[in-house]
Amino acid sequence: MIIVDLIKKKGRRASDLQHQLDIGQPTVSHHLKILKKDSVLLAKKKGREIFYYFNKKYPCKNCKLYEDLKL
């Protein structure tokens, strides 16, 4: 939930999240992969970097995720 909260306003790179959350790169990448697979996040490649964004068209608008993030 913290990752989505950080990404909801502005796209972020995995390395940005790693430094902000003070956790390892494999852990961040693992969670980003799950969130992307579940369509919560979108990924956009810019040059050699990948930026992750909250999917505002996430198909579950009535889910607790939306309530928790106050979208």
Express each pLDDT in 59-71 by its tens digit: 665 566 656 655 5
* Tens digit of each residue's pLDDT (9 = 90 or more) over 12-23: 999 999 999 999
Q: What is the pLDDT at residue 6?
A: 87
Query: pTM score > 0.75 for this model?
Result: yes
Which CATH code for domain 2-69? 1.10.10.10
* Tens digit of each residue's pLDDT (9 = 90 or more) over 29-54: 999 999 999 888 999 999 999 999 98
Helix (H) or strand (E) holding 26: helix 25-37
CA distance 22 to 60: 30
How is the chain split into domains, by residue range?
Answer: 2-69
Proportion of the chain above pLDDT 90, given as a percent = 55
CA distance 15 to 23: 10
